[in-house]
A and B are shown apart, each in its own frame.
Chain A
Amino acid sequence: MAFYEQHAHPAPKTFLSKYIFSYDHKVIAKQFLWSGIFFLGIGGIMAMLIRWTLAYPGQSFPILGQLLFPHTGGVVPPDTYAMLFTEHGTIMIFYAITPILIGGFGNFCIPLMIGCRDMAFPLLNMLSYWFFFISSVVLLSALFTPLGAAAGGWTSYPTLALTFGSPGIGQTLWYLAIFIVGASSILGAINYITTVITLRAPGMGYFDMPLTIWGIWMTAILNAIFLPVLGAGCLLVIFDRVFGTTFFLAGAAATTGSGDPILYQHVFWIFGHPEVYILILPAWGVVSDLLSFFARKPAFAAKATALSMVAISVLSILVYGHHMFTTQMSPLLTQSFMTLTMTISIPSAIFFGNWLGTIWKGSIRLDSPMLFALGVVFVFGLGGLTGLYLGTTTTDFYLHDTYFVVGHFHYTMAASVLLGGFGGIYFWMPKMFGVMMSEFWAKVHFWISMMGINGVFMGMIFVGYGGMHRRIYNPFFYEELRRLIPMNEFVTVSALILGAAQFIFLINFIHALVKGKPASDNPWKVGTLEWTIPSPAPHYNFKEIPVVKCGPHELGNPNLKDGKDFQYQTEELVKV
Chain B
Amino acid sequence: MSSAGSLAESQIEGKNFANSIAMMISLISFTMLFAVLFLGYAVFRFNALEWPPMGMERVDLFIPSMSTLVIMLSSLTFWGVGSFISSAQKKKAELMGTLSLLLGVLFVGTQFILWETLRSKGIYQGTGIYASLIYGFTWTHVGHMVLAIALKTWLILMVFRAKEVRDIGQNLVRNVSMFWHFLGIVWILIYVVLFVL
Q: Contact residues of A with B, CB < 8 Å? A: 1, 3-8, 117, 120-121, 124, 186, 189-191, 193-194, 197-199, 224-229, 231-233, 235-236, 239, 243-247, 256-260, 263, 266-267, 270, 540
Contact = CB atoms under 8 A, between A and B. Distances in A.
B120 interface: no
A454 B17 CA distance: 48
B129 interface: yes
A233 to B, nearest CB: 7
Contacts of A267: 36, 39-40
Interface string B1-29: 11110011011011101100110011011
B125 A227 contact: no
Interface string B77-111: 00000000000000000000000000000000000
Given A7-B15, A246-B129, A263-B43, 8 more contacts: A4-B13, A4-B15, A186-B26, A193-B25, A228-B29, A236-B40, A239-B139, A247-B132
Q: How would you classify the secondary structure of chain B's contact residues: helix, strand, loop or mixed?
A: helix
Interface residues of B, number: 46
B183 to A, nearest CB: 15
B140 interface: yes
B32 interface: yes
A246 B1 contact: no
Interface in B129-147: 129-132, 135-136, 139-140
B132 A228 contact: no
Nearest to B132: A245
Q: How would you classify the secondary structure of chain A's contact residues: helix, strand, loop or mixed?
A: helix
A247 B131 CA distance: 10
Nearest to B32: A228
A243 B30 CA distance: 23
User: Of A6, A7, A260, which is in contact with the most chain B CB atoms at under 10 Å from its CB?
Assistant: A7
B129 A258 contact: yes
Nearest to B15: A4
Leading 6 A-B pairs by shortest Cβ distance: A4-B14, A257-B128, A232-B36, A245-B132, A244-B126, A8-B1
A246 B125 CA distance: 8
Given A239-B125, A256-B127, A121 B22 contact: yes
Contacts of A231: 33
B124 interface: yes
B58 to A, nearest CB: 15
B130 A257 contact: yes
A423 B116 CA distance: 58
